[in-house]
Structure 1
Amino acid sequence: MCGFVTLWHAGDEALARDMVARLSHRGPDATEVTALAGAPVVMAHSRLAIIGPDDGRQPINQGDDMLVVNGEIYNHEDLRAILGADEFESASDSETILHLFRTGAGRWISRLDGMFAFVLATPGRIVAARDPLGIKPLYMARHGEGLIFASELKAFDGMGLVDIEAIAPGSLYDSARGHRQWYRIPHGAAEAEPGLDVTATARELRLVLVEAVQKWMVADVEVGSFLSGGLDSSIIAALAARSRARAGKTPLKTFAVGTEGSPDLMAARKVAAHIGSDHHEHAFTPADIADVLPHVIYHLESADIDLVRSAIPTHFAAKLARRQVKAVLTGEGADELFAGYTYHHGYVDDPRALADELTRSLGTMHNINLQRVDRVTMAESLEARTPFLDRDLIDFAQSVPASLKLCRTDADAAEATGPTTEKWILRKACADLLPHDLVWRKKAQFDEGSGTVDALQEALRMITGTTGPIGRDVEGAVYERFLRQAYREPDMVLDNAGTWEADRVRRPAA
């Protein structure tokens, strides 16, 4: 996991070094700046060593080609065997991208399985691409006749650039051929076909989940897991704990945060005891929130109220985890795949509309929840991994009818007429992993279950010097003020930031 900058017909090593310095939190293990011989290209890279820590230095400079990568390629060993191990000069998973590109295959990039953003340069050509859902960030700016690429917007701050865009998830930019969408999210199924074996569907989902977690734990360093006590992170942690136990490794390290006595801390303790993890927790206070809020907003690159609220517990969890590990698993993506948000309940009688909404929301994760997870964890030099967003799991989950994700049912029968239950098929698939009351516990947003909402109110009163409830208008103004104070060009950041409410279709709750 890393941060990088690439200049193409756009500057020199001094500029690249200045830009990548603002991304040093993404990769504290090493920083290198390299110019490509015979080409107007400079690349800078700050590295967090996860795979191939001894010989995975970047930029990767081989022959006439140079490459910088942020992320992980989980099928790199399979690709290495197919491409020929003798072609490789390092143990780094990132080098796989270079050799796939050199095959000249039309859809070479589709063979990469993981989370990634990269820029690859040859003397007369530059290629930049991003993983299917945009788990890892990548921005491109036009600078005169050239292009500048960077992992975060803050790298561009103060440069006066007006033409900045995010490389879209699942897309590739080629200076020789333009933009291309190499991955499209499969559209979700709506109603179950007659005769569908629901039990078999849940069983298959479980198998796909197991494989995804095992795949996303591949690393040359220890991988821990966030554990909020909610369904999603608990499932991931339970599967990861089993995987480590089967491999004869030490217990999984889990990390939970919240205010003292909050529901999340209590639930996480119960889950940790059940799965036998090496559990760590931290209780934060309103004063702690007031202290870290400017830092969180600067790194989040957004003043959106809902994102800031959820970023606060993420920050404390990341700081806690980084004392023990370099990488963690998270439960991000389950709500979008399996209908886990409160507003989804309004779709319970319209599976087609629900399937459409889930597909839409998957396509917008990159500039809301995935931006939060990436920026806030990387601010603490911690790699966050999202097994629910594994490509194989996305494909399978989108084939599961929406009517099995959100339905009027209880814990025992898919055809019951009880209260609306979100993520029903996911709960059924993982019912044996966790205590019954936790499997069927109603969802609470991370900022609610952790106690952040109430503590944040008190923190905002400290910041504003006022008493009484703080409304969303005042709250939003505080966040924007902090962002504007942090950047020389705050409008550049605000203009490129996503918002939770954007394009979201809400219906009255059922």
Structure 2
Amino acid sequence: MCGIAGIFHGNETNRVKMMLEKIIHRGPDDHGVFSDSNITLGHNRLTIIDLYSGRQPMKNEDGRYWMIFNGEIYNYKSLRSELKNHNFATNTDSEVIIHLYEELKEDCVNYLDGMFSLVIYDSIEKTIFMARDPLGIKPLYYGYTEEGYLAFASEIKALQVVTDDINEFPNGQTYTTKNGFSKYFSIEQDPINIKNADDIVNGLRLRLEDSVRKRLVADVPVGVFLSGGLDSSLIAAIAAKYKKNLNSFAVGMEGSNDIKNARIVADYIGTIHHELIYTEDDIKKILPKVIYYLESCDPALVRSAVATYFVSKLASKYVKVVLSGEGADELFGGYHYLKNYSNNWEMHTELRSITGNLHNSNLQRVDRMTMANSIEGRVPFLDTEMIHYAFKIKPSYKISEKDKTEKWILRKTAEEYLPDSIVWRRKEKFSIGTGTNEVLNSLAESEISDRYFVKNKKLANGFEIKSKEEMYYYNILKEQFAVDAFINEMGRSRSLDDFQIYA
């Protein structure tokens, strides 16, 4: 996992190095810059596969193509076996991409199973190719400098070194100098009515086990986040089935539900369990740093990001890769507000929407908080095969028509792996289960008066701040960034609490 930055113009080494410095947390193990008369590419590396080679920017055999890449390609070994006409200098997944591009050009993305953002430069044609993975698990931003040069980077903080023209690179799309943007991935629209629940459970079990297994592959230690909720517990249970001495990590305030339930799960599945108990003072102290790394003032996102930062910091003492349960709520109907949908098609449409926008919500949170602590987060629920399968399942299997139990079919799948007290536990958001929610809400209430909020909630650019809590986080974000340059593109969570929805 890494941080990338560049400017589509030559002799920009100094500016690109300044960009890389802003995201050094994404790759503290190695750094590299390539520049010619047309482009400057920069890379910070966090070594996960092939620890002793694979420096980037990376070139192909004859030096025509140069690439910077952030992500993991899980099928790189099978792809490598098909690329018989190439001489490999490393054992990395990165090198597979550049050779695949030589063969297939922009169609290469259709063969990549993983998470990625990448830029490939053709030094003969003087063109670039850019791409981002189907759901945007890995971030990428772009904009134009005052001179009109195209700049790009993994995080906003790096891009703002050279421009305030901030645009998010669309997930599931590619860009070429000649043809501009092109979409290569979309979620199916029509659910297939599978009538047998047992068949669905078997299909989910097989796909989940396959997804977890391939995400356990690394040349460094791997662990799991474990909140004690259904999603992380199911991922942890499957991971423990295939990896001995698995480390699990839980955080929360003293007496919080997540701490209690994570202990139950860890004991049941037999992980080496680690805990971090934090206080209200710890939350207050860490909040500005969390918002800086997160690059957002969305209340639901900030709340959960605090806990994610703490658990990432804990995990970084023991492992370099962690598996997390993000995506299950979007795929299988985990949020309480979804119970208000009486029409299956409308709920299916909503699930497609929130899944397609994960890059601005939970995926952004996990990427930024893990990378802030120089570890890699992997999300097995969001394997492409899992996404395709999940959207072939009738919505009535996700939120049961009988009693409105959320994620019903996933709970039935989990019965094979976990105790009933965990399988049928009522969903609590990470910020609630850890006890963080009330602290942050009270803090915002004490810092933002009614009068101040009403007077300042409408920004000059048309953005409207929805709550005191969002205002409080916005003020912190504004101290760290030229925030108005990107706030209209900032993702906002659909659901904050049971009856609180930000469209």
Query: What is the TM-score normalised by the length of structure 2?
Result: 0.91
The answer to whether 1:284 aligns with 2:278 is yes
Deviates more, 1:211-220 or 1:226-235: 211-220
Counterparts of 2:110 and 2:484, CA distance in 1: 35
- Which position in structure 2 is the counterpart of 1:167? 169
Displacement of 1:161 in angstroms is 3.2
Counterpart of 1:402? Answer: 395
The question of whether the paired residues in 1 share the 8 Å contact of 2:370 and 2:377 is answered with yes
Q: Is it true that 1:51 corresponds to 2:49 in the alignment?
A: yes
8 Å Cα contact 1:188/1:400 also seen in 2: no
Deviation at 1:107, TM superposition (A): 2.2
Q: Hey, what does 1:7 align to over in structure 2?
A: 7
Aligned partner of residue 391 in structure 2, secondary structure: helix
1:319 aligned onto 2:319 = no
SS of the aligned residue for 1:9 comes to: coil
* C-alpha distance in structure 1 between counterparts of 2:35 and 2:161, whole Å: 23
**For 1:171 and 1:91, how far apart are their aligned partners in 2?**
27
Give the corresponding residue for 2:182. Answer: 180
Pick which of 68-77 and 181-190 moved more. Answer: 181-190
* Residue of structure 2 equivalent to 1:370: 363
Seq. identity, %: 42
Shift of residue 10, structure 1, vs aligned partner = 6.4
**Structure 1 residue 86: Cα displacement:** 5.0
State how far apart, in whole Å, the 2-side matches of 1:373 and 1:74 are: 19
Q: Which residue of 2 aligns with 1:414?
A: none
Equivalent residues of 1:318, 1:382 under 8 A apart: yes
**Shift in Å, 1:104:** 3.2
After superposition, the C-alpha distances for 1:152-188 in whole angstroms (9 at most, x for unaligned) are 00012253433x3211111000002211101112225
Aligned to 2:23: 23
Q: CA contact under 8 A between 1:138 and 1:151: conserved in structure 2?
A: yes
Distance 1:480 1:4, change over 3 A: same
Cα distance between partner residues in 1 of 2:487 and 2:179: 30
Q: In 1, Cα distance between the equivalents of 2:231 and 2:429? A: 11
* 2:375 is equivalent to residue 382 of structure 1: yes
Q: Helix, strand or coil: the match of 1:119?
A: strand
SS at match of 2:182: strand
Question: In the aligned structure 2, how far is the partner of 1:236 from the partner of 1:354?
Answer: 25
Q: Is the 8 A contact 1:130 1:171 kept in 2?
A: yes
Aligned residue identity for 1:390: D
Partner of 1:217: 216
**Match of 1:270?**
264
Q: 1:369 Cα deviation (Å)?
A: 1.2
CA, structure 1 residues 68+293, in 2 after alignment: closer, same or farther (shift >3 Å)?
same
Q: Distance in 1 between matches of 2:492 and 2:337?
A: 16
8 Å contact from structure 1 (residues 188, 402) kept in 2: no
2:392 is aligned with 1:361: no
Q: Residue 143 of structure 2 contacts residue 163 of structure 2 at CA under 8 Å; is this kept in 1?
A: no
Partners of 1:322 and 1:478 in 2: how far apart? 29
The offset of 1:402, in angstroms, is: 1.1
* Aligned twin of 1:97: 97
Q: How many residues align?
A: 481
Which residue of structure 2 lines up, in the alignment, with residue 499 of structure 1? 492
Deviations 1:68-87 (A, max 9, x none): 00000000000000112852
* 1:396-436 deviation digits (Å, cap 9, x = unpaired): 1111111111113xxxxxxxx3x211111111112120001
Distance 2:66 2:215 in 1: 27
Q: Distance in 2 between matches of 1:404 and 1:460?
A: 39
1:424 aligns with 2:418: no
Conserved in 2, the CA contact under 8 Å of 1:139 and 1:150? yes
Secondary structure, counterpart of 1:94 in structure 2: helix
Q: Is the 2:19–2:161 contact (alpha carbons within 8 Å) kept by the matching residues of 1? A: no
Q: What is the alpha-carbon distance in structure 1 between the residues aligned to residue 17 and residue 162 of structure 2?
A: 14
Give the Cα–Cα distance (whole angstroms) in 1 for the partners of residues 252 and 206 of structure 2.
32
Aligned to 1:413: none
Counterpart CA distance in 1 for 2:104 and 2:438 is 56
Preserved contact between residue 188 and residue 356 of structure 1 (Cα < 8 Å): no
* Structure 1 residue identity aligned to 2:128: I
Provide Cα deviations, 1:108-131, integer angstroms capped at 9, x if missing partner.
210000000000001211011000
Quick one: structure 1 residues 507 and 312, their matched pair in 2 at CA, closer, same or farther if it must change by over 3 Å?
closer
Stretches of structure 1 lacking an aligned partner (at least 5 in a row): 245-249, 409-416
Distance 1:264-1:472 versus aligned 2 partners, 3 A rule: farther
Query: Deviations along 1:211-239, whole A, 9 cap, x unmatched?
Result: 01111222111110000000000000000
Deviations 1:6-60 (A, max 9, x none): 2112651011101110010000101111214xx4111111110001111121110
Question: In the alignment, is the contact (CA less than 8 A) between 1:286 and 1:459 conserved in 2?
Answer: no
Going from structure 1 to structure 2, the CA distance change for 1:367 and 1:11 (only over 3 Å counts) comes to farther
Q: Is residue 140 of structure 1 aligned with residue 142 of structure 2? A: yes
Deviation for aligned residue 1:501: 3.5
Kindly state the Cα deviation for residue 375 of structure 1 after the two structures are TM-superposed: 0.9
Q: 1:259 to 1:188 in 2, by over 3 A?
A: farther
Q: In the aligned structure 2, how far is the partner of 1:337 from the partner of 1:331?
A: 11
Query: Which has the higher mean CA deviation after the structures are superposed, 360-369 or 151-160?
Result: 151-160
CA RMSD of aligned residues (A): 2.3
Whole-angstrom distance in 2 between the partners of 1:174 and 1:387: 30
Question: 1:67 corresponds to which residue?
Answer: 67
1:77 alignment counterpart: 77
CA shift for structure 1 position 496: 3.3
The answer to whether the 8 A contact 2:18-2:161 is kept is no
TM-score, normalised by the number of residues in structure 1: 0.90
Distance 1:113 1:395 in 2: 13
Structure 2 residue identity aligned to 1:128 = M
CA distance in 2, matches of 1:141, 1:420: 45
The letter for the 2-side match of 1:299 is Y
| Distance across 2 between alignment mates of 1:160 and 1:213 | 39
CA distance in 1, matches of 2:391, 2:492: 24
Offset of 1:458 from its aligned partner? Answer: 5.2
Would the alpha carbon gap of residues 188 and 228 (structure 1) be closer, same or farther in structure 2, given more than 3 Å must change?
farther
Question: For each residue in 1:281-301, what CA deviation from the matched residue of structure 2 results, as whole angstroms up to 9, or x when unmatched?
Answer: 111111000000000001100
Cα drift, residue 146 of structure 1: 2.5
Deviation at 1:67, TM superposition (A): 0.3
In the alignment, which residue of structure 2 is the partner of 1:411?
Answer: none
Partners of 2:220 and 2:49 lie apart in 1 by 7
